[in-house]
Every structure is written in structure tokens, then in C-alpha cells.
Chain A
Amino acid sequence: MLFGKRDMRESFERQAEKIFPSVLGTALRLTRSREDAEDLAQEAIVRAYDAFERFDGTNFKAWMLRIVTNLYINKYRQRQRGPQFGSLEEEGAIEPVSSEYELPDRLLFDHVVGAEIEDALGRVPEDFRMAVILSDIEGLSYQEIADATSVPIGTVRSRLARGRSMLRRSLETYAIKEGYIKKDAVE
């Protein structure tokens, strides 16, 4: 029994260390605070270790991110501060990701770097941001995102489409503000 526990610890630690950048990265992108992110990530690791015996063995990363997301929703969300876009109606029309002013992606995307993307992502409302992070950065499937965020797959699809659209607009705003692209280029 003791050997079994030792093996369990080793197995958990090996898998958790491997995906820890995703755990902490997601925590950081959700909380937008290094301190909160570290607390969230550590608590998620502890919770996961406690529940490791019940892990079904399919996708450890998705399981861990589900714990992180649930913890964030249940515990950290209320503590979040800072400017938000404000929540958007889930049922509203979905805007296209591509620029309606035909601003080429190349013109926009070639200028932005990691920090600017993180900044733009941080300005996307959190439900939408969560879907984009889990899908586009962490590579989770719609079903895994639905499980992680406790919403139907239809909502995940909707949030992803909206989130990406908002991110694109945010990047455009940022690029114009920083002078990477001229305002008249999009008008």
C-alpha cells in the first residue's frame, strides 16, 4: 500500500510537472495577477493530487485545466479587479473575426508580440477569454472546454467565436494606438 502511494506520487508529479506551464499560464491569463495565479495553480495541484485516485487516466492536462477553471470560477472570480469590456449577450450576432475594413491579418499580426497579445487577451471578458485560452492556447476540445467551464458545447462554440472576434478587435485597437497601423488603413 505504501509502495502504491509512492508510485502514485511519482506518477502524479511526473505528469503534473509536464503540464504545469499550462496550469500556471492559464491561471495567470485568468487571474491576470502573478500572485493569484500562483495561489490558484498551487491549490489546483493540491486538489488534483487529492483526487488523483479518481482520475480516469484519459487526458491529464484537460483534467488539470478543468480543476484550475473550476477553482477560478468558484473562488477567484469574485476577487478579480480591473477594467472589463463588460459582459456581452451570449445570444447576440457573432461578428466576423476578419476585419470588415479588409485590414490584412499580416499587417496586424506581424506587428504584435507576445506581451501585446496577452494584454489584448486580458481585455476580453473572462467567459470568452476562458474559452479562447482553453481552445487556442491549450488545445482543449469543445467537449473538454464544456466540461471545464460547466456549460453546454453550444455555449462553448458561441463563446469561442465571440471571444476570437473580440480579441481581434482588441488587437486592432492596440495596433492603432501604438501606431503599428494607421487609423486610416482601417477606414
Chain B
Amino acid sequence: MIEPIDLHAFADGELNSVDRTELQAKLDASPDAVRELESIRNLKALLKRQAQEVETRESWKHCVGRLDEIDKARRVESVVGRFAPALCGLFLFTILVGGLVARRHGETSGPKEYVSRLLPFRSSSESKQDKDEAEWLTHLFNQVRQSRIHTFHVLKVNGYIADGIPVTRMSLRDDKGDLLVLLLPKSVDFGELTPMAGHPEYTSGQYGQTNCVARSNGASTTVLLADRPFDELADAMTDIPDSFVTITSHRPVK
């Protein structure tokens, strides 16, 4: 007795050599099984021979198009993926450097701009100011005249607000010429001014063509500008008492 399933396996070449030999022996004694085997083989041959060819050209083109899209996406992913750490690093580095540059730039140029804002010399007497401020300036003027800075002749005292800071401006004159004094009731670190040789408590530099020396005591800042050497400005600075700055800090501000 031959199992039909074995005949199919025989026709398909899926029997091992032992089973194949055994089945072959059985086939010799079974004409019906031989006929069945022949029919299986004929059907297999028919299918192989007559199965219709399928037109694939257009469909294959679409497939190639899809593969191109995948490759394109992979290339983008690959570039982004490969350089992602570098891009992130570069981005962070740019932010960091930008920040440092901005900070550095801010340190050098910010105060310079700040100085420029301090120097419009817009007289309070010329601009609108309230009665309190006018009185205070008169008081200040009298204080200055009565102070110990006998070496100076006080030409004018006025005040204005620069960048939210009340600035008191005094025009002084001594035997070497005119000076301009700016008094600020807070400590300001001017980036464009550098520590002065021989006078570590002072910073010096130039504003435009004018030499400038500044002194900050933590609570107030005095800036001295004049067309004279730094050493002479430093000497002049010593003649401006701290109490003088203290007076300016009491300026009424609205």
C-alpha cells in the first residue's frame, strides 16, 4: 500500500534515498500507483509549462523608485545620524563661544557705550526737572564750593539721568585747564578702562581723544575726563573727596 502523500513527495524529489528505494520497489508492483505518479508529474509539468508569464516592467520601475526613496531617506538619516553628535557639539560650541564673545564684547563695548550714555551732558538746567532736583543741585553746588577742593574752580554743576542712573556732572577748572567730573552713586566697572600702572585703585583709558581716569569705592564711582596726562588726572582725582561723592548719592530722583 502506497500512501498518496508519499507519491507526491516522490514526484517532488523530497524522499530520502532509503524511502525512495522502498517506494520504487512498491511502484513496480502497483500499476495504479504508477498511473497516479505519472498524473502528478504531468500536472506539475503542465503548471510549470503553462503558468503565464507576468508583465513586470512597469511594476519593477515602481519598485526601483521606492528603493531610491529609501536610499535617499537613509542617506539623510545617515548624515544626520553620523554627524548628530558633532552637530550638537558644534551647536553647543557656537552657543558657548557666542556667549563668551558676547560677554567679552559686552565687557569691552558695553561700558564704553555706557560711558557714551553718560556723556551727553544734557544739563538738568536745560531740561525739565522738578523743583526738588533744582534745589538739590543748588545745594550740591554750594557744597562743592565749600569743600576742600580749593584747587578747583567750580564752573558748573548739573545732573541728568543716564541709563537709569542719576549722573552728576561738574565742570571744573584748575591751573592746568578744564576737567569734567562725573559722579555716579553706584559702582560701575568700565570695561574699556584698564587698571592704571602705579595706581591700582584707579582705572584709566581714553574716551574719544580725551583721557579718562575712574575710581570706584564700591558704593560710588567718580570719573575724571580731561585733556591731560593720566598721572595728572590721577593727581586731580586725589583732590576729589569721597564725601563729595556721598553728597551726590543723596540726589533726589524721580
Q: Which residues of A contact B (CB under 8 A)?
A: 1-2, 5, 9, 12-13, 16-17, 20-21, 24-25, 28, 38, 41-42, 45-46, 49-50, 94-99, 105, 109, 112-115, 117-118, 121, 132, 135-137, 139, 141-142, 157-158, 160-161, 164, 167-168
Is residue B94 contacting chain A, with contact meaning CB distance below 8 A?
no
Indicate whether A97 sits within 8 Å of B40 (C-beta atoms), given known contacts A28-B54, A112-B46: yes
Residue pair A94, B4 in contact (C-beta under 8 Å): yes
Indicate whether A164 sits within 8 Å of B40 (C-beta atoms), given known contacts A114-B51, A136-B48: yes
Residue pair A46, B56 in contact (C-beta under 8 Å): no
- Smallest CB gap from B52: residue in A: A114
Residue pair B5, A142 in contact (C-beta under 8 Å): no
CB distance from A34 to the nearest CB of B (A): 9
Is residue B63 contacting chain A, with contact meaning CB distance below 8 A?
yes
Q: Which residues of B contact A (CB under 8 A)?
A: 4-5, 8-9, 12, 14, 35-36, 38-40, 42-44, 46-48, 50-54, 56, 59-60, 62-64, 66-67, 70-71, 74, 78
Residue pair B14, A94 in contact (C-beta under 8 Å): no
CB distance from A144 to the nearest CB of B (A): 11
Residue pair A42, B62 in contact (C-beta under 8 Å): yes
11 more contacts with CB within 8 A, not counting A25-B52, A46-B67, A168-B43, are A5-B78, A16-B63, A21-B53, A46-B66, A96-B39, A98-B39, A105-B42, A114-B52, A132-B47, A164-B40, A168-B39
Using Cβ atoms and an 8 Å threshold, which residues of chain B touch A121?
47
User: Which of A1, A96, A98, A164 has its CB near the most chain B CB atoms (within 10 A)?
Assistant: A98
CB distance from B62 to the nearest CB of A (A): 6
Using Cβ atoms and an 8 Å threshold, which residues of chain A touch B5?
94, 157-158, 161
Residue pair A157, B39 in contact (C-beta under 8 Å): no
